[in-house]
Each structure stands twice: as C-alpha cells, then as structure tokens.
Amino acid sequence: MKEFDYNLDYKNLEFTPNDKRYRIGRGEQGVLLVRPYTNIICKHWRFKTPKEAFISVSAILFLYNSYRNIKDFVGMDMCRKFLEMGFTRARRYANHKDGKKY
C-alpha cells in the first residue's frame, strides 16, 4: 500500500473524484487535509453525544452513498476515514470519562 503523501501542498490543492494524487494511507492518515472533501464532511462530523453521533453517521453515510453513486473513490474513502475517526474518538470518551488518554 502506498503511504499517504504528506509532501503535497494541501492548503492549495483541491482534489477531484478519483484524483490520482490521492493516497489511502493507513487508518485515518490525511483525513483533515484532502479538500474539498474534508470541508464537506466536517460540517456533519459530531460524536459528543449518542444522538449527535447518530445524526452524524446518517449524514456521512448519505454522503458516502452519494459518492459511491458517482463512483468517486476519494469521497468514499474520506467518508470511511471520518467514520473511523469518530469511532476511535467515541471509544476514547467511553474509556476515559474526561476524554483524555493521558
């Protein structure tokens, strides 16, 4: 698997569907860098309460299916990363009531 490329100038890049510059990377790598997907998905990403998380997951799954319908792999993978990141953050809150690992 090709590692996520942190050497690109992400502040000035706008990715397009199936952009060849996109690298999956491991886990959640690059989740907050790949625009415009990050900007779109971040609007819906909430996990502080179970109700917020349910609404968030529903919205992100809708986006995922929308990207899938137009065969936009980058959008699909970014949705996956946000869902994974929400899960790991929610587990942190479940395991550490103050939300801090250390």
In a domain, 52, yes or no: yes
Q: What are phi and psi of 77, to 5 degrees?
A: -70, -35
Helix (H) or strand (E) holding 102: none
- Provide the domain count of the chain: 1
pLDDT single digits (tens) 57-85: 999 999 999 999 999 999 999 999 999 98
Per-residue pLDDT of the chain (102 residues; tens, 9 = 90+): 778 899 999 999 999 999 999 998 888 888 999 999 999 999 999 877 889 889 999 999 999 999 999 999 999 999 999 999 887 776 666 676 665 665
90: in domain: yes
At residue 28, the pLDDT reads: 87
Domain contains 46: yes
pTM of the entire predicted model: 0.84
Decide if 43 is inside a domain: yes
